[in-house]
Amino acid sequence: MKRFEVVLRTHTLVAAGRRYTRGQFLESHDYIPGSVFRGAVAGDILRHCPDRTPGKESCDIPDCPALASDGRCLFPDIFLGENAFVFTSLYPYVPDRLLGPMPLTVRTCKHCPGSETAVAQDHAGSRLPLGEIPHGIWDTLVDTYRLQREGPYPTGEATRCVRLCRHDGCNADAIAPPEHHLAMHWDPESGGNWVEPVRLTLMRQTRVAINRRRWAAEDQMLYSVVGMGGEQELAGGVLVPDGADDEAAEALDRALSEHPYADDPLLLGGGVSRGLGHCSLDTFPFDAGTQDELELRLKGFAERIEAPDDELHFSVTLLDHAILADPQTGSPVVGLSPEVLTRRLRDFVSDHELPIIQAGPTWHAAQVVSGWNATWGLPKWSALATVGGSAAVFAATSLTEQQRDSLTHALYLLELQGIGARRTEGFGQVAVCHPIHWEELAP
């Protein structure tokens, strides 16, 4: 599977995936959802298509950005069909770092939150009083899994790391970090990783409402738009399936890279007719990862929890919201379960090659997701989704060598193709044995 790494730079206020609240305030996400990114790219191709009727078998317009060498229109190959491209969400960009939503298993001190290493290296300004040092950021997935395996009344250091601050002399509660996104850094001096919470700067613009009858400013009517401020960078990717047309991938690469801000900005989000949502893009080829890298992560996770050789323990972390359904009833479910995971893995390997997967601890939250279809001028159907950052631990015991190989290969394909519905919009992206869960983290 091919992948384009996309770095997007905002130049004006961007209201991405905005939602209406009480009063005259229009709020925005602090990241760019994959559905918003996908819709912006599709709309940009249509704006540059002189015919504006994509999907024709034969096109005789030479300036169309989605024109193939044989005269076909490549728009359906990019956005429709079984081999449609996957547009992931865009998160705050830190060069050469692992980015994504903050897992729900991450904790920090209630009284002195934040990363001690980030403040020491001047990567983030401390919001604490003068003289106070953050007590660090740590992950609780492995500790919680150990507690579950030890019995109902465990004691020791694992219990403290889950519920209380792990800093010496501090008995404050452990809470989730206030930031929604993270960047994992590799520190060659200490030989370990450390986590930096990152966030985008949100800005508010207040404007005057327009009277629809007089087409003039309405007296005593103001509204405020909240969005991501200009001159900020976000990063994500576009995944190209193995069965996709190579010429379609080249056409999309050209469409993404030909966006200098001064001449032709990419219009993203709401309010583009009012000067909002002007962005520019840079694309880079990126390796989607190999199965050998997954096997190293599985081995590291097994060593951390001291798993027997005939068992395979692994974690699954959502890198974006996932729209999941019960395999038997089709009703929406929240959280990753063995039934939902097994049903998805059966799409990659046969049923008799898969072992029985057992459930471990899980962390999840729910959120209703929707959207707006600009082509039809109608809202998208609302769905109950499991939020990005949710995680779960699974185990397969008494494995044969063939079952281990089949399960490892299925997990590798799960990382590439995701889980749940509407995956082309970025939903359902996962990471198996995310490094934040099992690698040693500096405070």
pLDDT of residue 374: 67
How many Å apart are CA 190 and CA 110, to the nearest integer? 26
What is the share, in percent, of the chain residues with pLDDT greater than 70?
Answer: 85
287-293 long-range contacts, CB within 8 A, separation 24+: 287/3, 288/1, 288/2, 288/3, 288/239, 288/416, 289/415, 289/416, 291/408, 291/409, 291/412
Closest among 48, 40, 88, 93 to 66, alpha carbons compared: 48
CA atoms within 13 A on the CB side of 201: 10
DSSP SS3 for 403: helix
Answer whether 0.85 is exceeded by the pTM: yes
Is pLDDT larger for residue 363 or for residue 378? 363
Residue 259 has what pLDDT?
64
The phi and psi torsions of 212 (rounded to 5 degrees) equal: -70, -20
pLDDT at 179 over 90: no
Residue 373 one-letter amino acid: N
Q: Considering the domain delimited by 291-438, tell me its CATH architecture.
A: 2-Layer Sandwich (3.30)
Calpha distance 293→263 (Å, rounded): 41
Lowest mean pLDDT among 108-117, 269-278, 322-331, 374-383: 374-383
Question: Tokens 């005259």, residue?
Answer: 24
Task: Compute φ and ψ for 239, nearest 5 degrees.
Answer: -95, 130
Strand, helix or coil for residue 7: strand
- Kindly tell me if the per-residue pLDDT of 304 is higher than 50: yes
Average pLDDT of the residues in 293-319: 91
CB burial class (10 A; 0-12, 13-18, 19+) of residue 263?
Answer: exposed
Maximum average pLDDT range among 10-24, 158-172, 393-407:
393-407
CATH of the domain spanning 2-93+201-285: 3.30.70
Rounded to the nearest integer, the mean pLDDT of the chain is: 82
Over 60: is that where the pLDDT of 148 sits?
Answer: yes
Q: In a 3-state reduction of DSSP, which class is residue 275? A: coil
Give the model's pLDDT for residue 126: 46
Residue 253, SS3?
helix
**Which range in 105-119, 145-159, 403-417 is most confidently predicted, on average pLDDT?**
403-417
Q: What is the pLDDT of residue 93?
A: 87
How far, in Å, CA of 404 to CA of 309, rounded? 11
Per-residue pLDDT, 387: 93
Classify each residue of 3-27 as buried b or exposed e, where b means 16 or more C-beta atoms within 10 Å of its C-beta: bbebbbbbbbbbbbbbeeeeeeebb
Mean pLDDT of 52-70: 68
What confidence score (pLDDT) does residue 418 get? 92
The pLDDT score that the predictor gives to residue 324 is: 95
Q: Which two tokens stand for residue 406?
A: 């089949």
pLDDT digits over 224-254, tens only? 888 898 889 999 889 888 888 888 888 888 8
pLDDT band at 181 (very low <50, low <70, confident <90, very high): confident
CA dist 152 → 140, 142, 144, 147, 161 (Å) = 17, 16, 12, 8, 17
Nearest to 208 by CA among 197, 196, 221: 221
Query: What is the mean pLDDT of the segment spanning 213-232?
Result: 84
Beta-strand relationship, 98-101 and 181-187: antiparallel
Separation CA 153–CA 141 (nearest Å): 18
Q: Could you say which DSSP state residue 388 is in?
A: T
DSSP assigned state of 346: T
Question: Picking from 147-156, 253-262, 270-279, which range would have the lowest pLDDT averaged per residue?
Answer: 147-156
Provide mean pLDDT across the span 404-423: 92
Does 294 or 47 have the greater pLDDT score? Answer: 294
Q: Which residue has the higher pLDDT, 52 or 310?
A: 310
The pLDDT of residue 190: 52
Residues sharing a CB contact under 8 Å with residue 304, sequence separation 6 or more, in sequence order: 142, 438
The answer to whether 2-93+201-285 and 291-438 have equal CATH topology is: yes
Q: Is 60 exceeded by the pLDDT of residue 201?
A: yes
pLDDT in tens, 4-51: 888 999 999 998 876 656 667 778 888 899 989 998 888 888 887 766
| Amino acid letter, 378 | L
Residue 261: CB atoms within 10 A of its CB come to 15
Contacts of residue 296, defined as CB under 8 A and 6 or more positions apart, other chains included, come to none
Q: What is the mean pLDDT of residues 264-281?
A: 84
pLDDT band at 125 (very low <50, low <70, confident <90, very high): very low
Distance of CA 440 to the CA centre of its chain: 23
Instruction: Inform me whether the pLDDT recorded for 173 exceeds 70.
Output: yes
Looking at 86-244, list the stretches that DSSP marks H as alpha helix, in order from N- to C-terminal side.
Answer: 116-120, 141-150, 157-163
Domain locations in the chain as residue ranges: 2-93+201-285, 105-175, 291-438
Mean of the pLDDT values across residues 207-216? Answer: 82
Residues in the chain: 443
In this predicted structure, what is the pLDDT of residue 188? 53
Question: And the tokens for 220?
Answer: 């005593």
Provide the pLDDT confidence category of residue 390 given band limits of 50, 70 and 90: very high
Q: Which two tokens stand for residue 7?
A: 């770095």
Q: Two tokens at 343?
A: 């049903």
